[in-house]
Structure formats: structure tokens, C-alpha cells
Amino acid sequence: MHLTMFTDFALRTLMRLAGEPARSFATAEIAAEFGISRNHLAKVVRDLAGSGFITTQRGVGGGFTLARPARSITLGEVVRALEEEALVECFRADGGGCMLTPRCRLKAKLAAAREAFLRELDTTTLAECAYPAPTRKLAAAT
């Protein structure tokens, strides 16, 4: 299984929020901390909010926080919500154009593998993967 960069950024963001659940974060702050595009992260934040994982507030003092406790969000839930790309062509909503479809023996095996992957992710909560606040190095005494 290959997760998109979009889902990777979403998981990183949620892990960071889980590390300090009482705090509100700004897109620019998380983008800088993880070295990712602020514009791309803004789209990730929009989708996370639309999927009910975070709440957002605009304006001064705004930002985003987890919408519910990290222990109640599984990695499988997040991946299911954000991964839209079909694993293989025949998994697409329109069935794709694979010539093997009528007699294919691979599709069922791939579907089972995908479900096993997601079931495994369902066993891990965001709280278990919380990314702690970065430690600040103290200046050495001179």
C-alpha cells in the first residue's frame, strides 16, 4: 500500500495536534516545523476539518485543534477518509478498463490485502502516535 503525500501530511499534522491537545495551531507553524508547503497544508487542514478530525477558527487567536480526543481517532479512520485513489484500476468507482476483469483472480486478493492493511491501522489510535512538542535547546553557559 502506498499512501499519498496528502495523507502523510494529514497524519503528521494530527500526530502533532495529539502531542499538545490543549493547544491551537496555525498552518504556518506546522508547515514550518515539518518543512512542508503552507499552501498544501492549508488544503490538508480543510479536508481534516471537513472529515471531522479537527475544528478550525479564523481570525486573531484562531487556528485548529483536534475535534475529539486523540484516543478516539484511529489511523485507519483517517486513511479511509483521505485516501481517494484506487489501489488498482478495477477498484475505481467506474470499474476501470482492465481487460482481465471478467475472469481476474487478483482483485479479490488485493481487496483482502487492502482490508488487512486498514484493519491493522484500526488497531492504533492517534494518541499512541502523538508527536511531542519539539524540545528547545538551552544556550550553553559561557
Q: pLDDT digits over 108-127, tens only?
A: 888 888 899 999 999 999 99
Confirm if 63 and 16 have CB atoms less than 8 A apart.
Answer: no
Question: For 19-37, what is each residue's pLDDT tens digit?
Answer: 999 999 999 999 999 999 9
Specify the CATH number of the domain 5-128: 1.10.10.10
Sequential DSSP letters for 95-112: -TT-TTGGG-SHHHHHHH
- DSSP string for 69-93: -GGG-BHHHHHHHH--S-SSGGGST
pLDDT bin (cut points 50, 70, 90) of residue 142 is: very low
d(CA 36, CA 42): 11
Reading the block at residue 115, the C-alpha cell is 482490508
Q: Which of 53, 38, 118, 108 is nearest to 83 (CA)?
A: 118
Average pLDDT over residues 125-130: 95
The domain locations on the chain are 5-128
